[in-house]
Structure 1
């Protein structure tokens, strides 16, 4: 890199003195701006392979479905494909009555004529003229003075008015952009804009759209907002002007620039879905709109099926949307981090349908965008108990006690460390099944019978006879206790202490099953859980107890009562 960037890059200073009159920092956006999609023009120009007519039709229809009322459909003087597309929209009556199309032109009479001709016959259309005004363009590209640049914009406006008059059946409107406004001296941009508005004859009933583009994003968003507010307060015919902005994303701050520009007085925003456009793209209208939505302001655009919008844009642009793209990316509602998963799980548990959205880490309800909750929590080596237990609960109805969540998360951690990959919800259940539900060695339950036994002594009212398998051998055991589980523990004749017990139903009606979770200490070993699932709650609890005993045995803890007795009885 250049050793001293201060000598190579001179920051653009929009004002000779600080703009102390700014008021935008204290404002809030309470209503959406006018939205203008330039996907079919600016976005299309930037594609490796520009859209075919069929793709443009599909994209146009999607923009209509979303709710755009102003759509820039092409640069008809620059491309026969664009000209034919505009004519197709008009001739085939594809434009709804409440939608206005926009066609772009440079400041040349032959190009203006071709552009107006392309849109003739539409119910309403906007002709959008642009001419570059920035010093570098005046000097390097056009070799023109400020007066020559201004005269070109004014004379082109007169030509547009004259050409529009040839097609009186169309309701014509006019938009002018002092291109590269972002690096144009504000005083000169104001002079040109006022002259163009006068040439158009702008009135409150015949407004001109004045578009102030950050053609090259060259300053911080607050400086762009200062430029917009300065123009907003200094324009001669402000009540006859729709003030528009067209931020590009060269610095990666187009969304912030657009939001601050609206706070600074802009009425309208031009951009593309998901930020398509030259270089780093135009401002992303989806992000802007949904940012408003999360602040309680309906944007007037419908993204309730955002995946459909993404699929359309990816197909038409032949470019992917990044998986981390705000609101729409495959992973933006996905949490891998254990602490994030735990917070989201708790948030979902408390969130009520009729209450304001308040789920940690999720600034918007995925359901509002047509996204499901299925992929909100996914598990990899960074995940913890919250995510794992959430997947089991969502997919299989298993509500794990907290200590079991912690214990099972270690099994998941071992798996992800060994494989180095993400585990799916299906993987999680398979691991849970292997770790707890299919633990049938050395002990398994064959059948049992429970009877009340009042003569068994105080507090020991249940008697059990059970057939169990141990290492392939069938044994019949008996025991008594003050409950079914304590009677079964007595029958097993093992030094078992039950430290915790939980149960709940899975499903409803005739399909209901019981899930039991038992935390057990066998002898002096550390505690460990067992899990059982059965249509009968008692059977499920016995299976859970044997699951815990078997897991202890798997870890080397003696679980044969005969062996334990021989070890503790003197020879």
Structure 2
């Protein structure tokens, strides 16, 4: 299969890994609604669920397969025939089906999760890929806990599963352990050392336990990975997954330096962020990058002054690029005259310098005691009758 070497495929696991957050279970109809928005967003792969885990998850994969046309629909399995059979059955309506199977690759998982040996785990990995390949052409293999795996054993495993038919190899930092340079070096080593690596796409799947999921994902892409796995709003197990909107906007903002692109329609980002937040009953923290309520809010006087002179002084992304309603100048006790003048003019009031100085003095007194400054408050600062034409 030929791929544009600059293209990054976006694999969304909001409906699988994202839904593993306690209290965030979705109904099938809610999943379908989100899946359709993911399709409109332009994601390449939707991981629709873990079919063997429950009848509800199985049915969700079936219905999502019917509901979307363009994205690949992916079903997760462990490395055993029962899981794979359930996944194959759930994907029977998918236009572009993918099985995502795998097993632990770190000695920690091999010894303490599977009570096994490297040799036995390698054999199980190969068997799972071969078995899945009998039913579905597109097979992604995940080497769980690759972030802590021995690099030479990981390379051996990756080479073996590609030889068995894997089209994508997922190198998860399952516990969010790696530093960006460590993770990037791991991807680089696989790219340079696995002889058949060009027969598959390398995928990065990073968790955020140390707050490094996005940084690690970017490091992996720079080292040669061409698929990014993550969730909307960065939701997921424990501290969450890589935030898709962050990676997408990093690539767009640094197009010249990184020279990679996705097919994401970035203007849909804010809308789907709000939908996922509402459906999963998970508020987005105000200071969340790209989609947080304060992502484009300016409250410091120095920042406000610079922004009003030229928005690029303090904005590297335009709100409209991600579908955000607009940038805002928030009035607080730290705001300056320029911001107050901006809001008064917005209300049709154009004070001269003396009037602005007096209004600003009164404003600071008010802002020290009141959290939210309203338009009515602003009008009370000036003789608004004087400005009525």
Both proteins in one fold, TM over 0.5 = yes
Aligned position for 2:71: 99
Pair 1:429 & 2:379 matched? yes
Q: How many angstroms apart in 1 are the aligned matches of 2:231 and 2:106?
A: 24
- Structure 1: gaps spanning 5 or more residues: 1-29, 165-170, 203-207, 349-358, 439-531, 536-571
1:283 partnered with 2:242: yes
SS of the residue corresponding to residue 113 of structure 2 reads helix
- Secondary structure of the residue that 1:304 maps to in structure 2? helix
Is contact 1:210–1:241 with CA below 8 Å preserved after alignment?
yes
One of 86, 97, 100 as aligned partner of 1:125: 97
Q: Among 20, 33, 38, which residue is 1:58 paired with?
A: 33
CA shift for structure 1 position 190: 0.6
Q: Is the 8 A contact 2:203 2:229 kept in 1?
A: yes
Offset, 1:127: 0.4
Where in structure 2 are the equivalents of 1:89-488 lying within 5 Å?
89-90=64-65, 93-96=66-69, 98-162=70-134, 164=135, 172-200=137-165, 208-296=167-255, 299-348=262-311, 359-373=312-326, 376-393=328-345, 395-401=346-352, 404-417=355-368, 419-432=369-382, 436-437=383-384
Matched, 1:33 2:8: yes
The Cα of 1:309 is off from its aligned counterpart by 1.6
Change (3 A) 1:377 1:107: same
Once the two structures are superposed, what CA deviation does each residue of 1:151-210 show, in whole Å capped at 9, x if it has no partner? 110111222223x1xxxxxx630000110000000100111111111122x6xxxxx101
Distance, in Å, in 2 between the alignment partners of 1:54 and 1:305 is: 21
Could you tell me whether the CA contact under 8 Å between 2:176 and 2:208 is conserved in 1? yes
Structure 2 distance, partners of 1:74, 1:156, is 18
| CA–CA separation in structure 2 for the residues paired with 1:361 and 1:49 | 35
Shift of 1:250: 0.8
Residues 291 and 406 of structure 1: CA distance in aligned 2, closer, same or farther (over 3 Å): farther
Deviation at 1:42, TM superposition (A): 0.8
Q: CA separation in 1, counterparts of 2:189 and 2:377?
A: 59
Query: Which residue of structure 2 aligns with residue 469 of structure 1?
Result: none
**Which of the pair is proportionally richer in helix?**
2
Query: Which whole-Å deviations, capped at 9, do the CAs of 1:26-78 have from their partners, x for residues lacking one?
Result: xxxx9451100011111112242311111111111110111112111110011
Q: Would the alpha carbon gap of residues 155 and 232 (structure 1) be closer, same or farther in structure 2, given more than 3 Å must change?
A: same
Contact 1:379/1:424 (<8 A) preserved: no
In structure 2, the partner of 1:5 is none
Instruction: Assess, with a 3 A threshold, how the Cα gap between structure 1 residues 280 and 53 changes in structure 2: closer, same or farther.
Output: same
1:72 to 22, 40, 47: 47
Q: CA deviation at 1:142?
A: 1.2
- Give the conservation status (yes or no) of the 8 Å contact 2:277–2:284: yes
Distance 1:81 1:384, change over 3 A: same
Q: CA RMSD in A?
A: 2.0
Residue matched to 1:481: none
Aligned partners of 2:201, 2:315: CA distance in 1, in Å? 35
Q: Is the 8 A contact 2:9 2:262 kept in 1?
A: no
Separation in 1 of the partners of 2:138 and 2:325? 43
Gap change, CA 1:149 and 1:427, over 3 Å in 2: same
Residue 428 to residue 292, structure 1, CA distance change in 2 (3 Å) = farther
Structure 2: gaps spanning 5 or more residues: none
In the aligned structure 2, how far is the partner of 1:61 from the partner of 1:111? 26
Q: 1:137 to 1:113 in 2, by over 3 A?
A: same
Rg: which structure is higher?
A: 1
Flag the structure with higher strand content: 1
Q: CA separation in 2, counterparts of 1:229 and 1:381?
A: 50
How far apart in 2 are the matches of 1:262 and 1:132? 22
Closer, same or farther in 2 for the Cα pair 1:533/1:315, shift >3 Å? closer
Query: How far apart, CA to CA, are the structure 1 residues paired with 2:353 and 2:228?
Result: 50
Q: TM-score of the superposition, structure 2-length normalised? A: 0.92
- Do residues 533 (structure 1) and 387 (structure 2) align? yes
Structure showing greater relative contact order (alpha-carbon pairs closer than 8 Å, 6 or more residues apart): 2
Shift of 1:401: 4.9
Measure the CA separation in 2 of the matches of 1:219 and 1:403.
58
* Alignment partners' CA distance in 2, 1:342 and 1:407: 19
What do residues 376-421 of structure 1 show as CA deviations (whole Å, max 9, x unaligned)?
101112222122111122x22444455654442211101122x231
